[in-house]
Amino acid sequence: DTMKYAAEITQNGTTFRGYLWEAVPPLPVPLRWEDERGAVVSWEQVVPAPIPPGQFEIPGGYAEAAAALGPNVMPRAGRHSE
């Protein structure tokens, strides 16, 4: 299954509107982004896996924050099988 989101993202003063497709089970993994300008980004051969401890070190001064969608992301538009 995939989830298709309608999204509006503002970055450095520029707003991008488009759609994001994510694989849902077992984790949400981005598969495709398509925006109103016609730009398309696809992620292929995605394999979610834990990062071995030797490949990632948490930076000094890191503080965990609560996850939130924020004002620039719209909620899910619907569920699609693709």
| pLDDT at residue 67, rounded to an integer | 58
Residue 29's contacts (CB-CB under 8 Å, 6 or more residues apart) are: 22, 23, 43, 46, 48
Query: Which is nearest to 32 in space by CA: 68, 62, 9, 4?
Result: 4
Residue of higher predicted confidence among 3 and 80: 3
> How many CB atoms neighbour CB 37 within 10 A?
9
Q: Is the separation of the CB atoms in 2 and 74 below 8 Å?
A: no
Q: What is the pLDDT of residues 11-39, one digit of tens each?
A: 889 999 999 998 887 677 888 999 998 99
| pLDDT at residue 66, rounded to an integer | 66
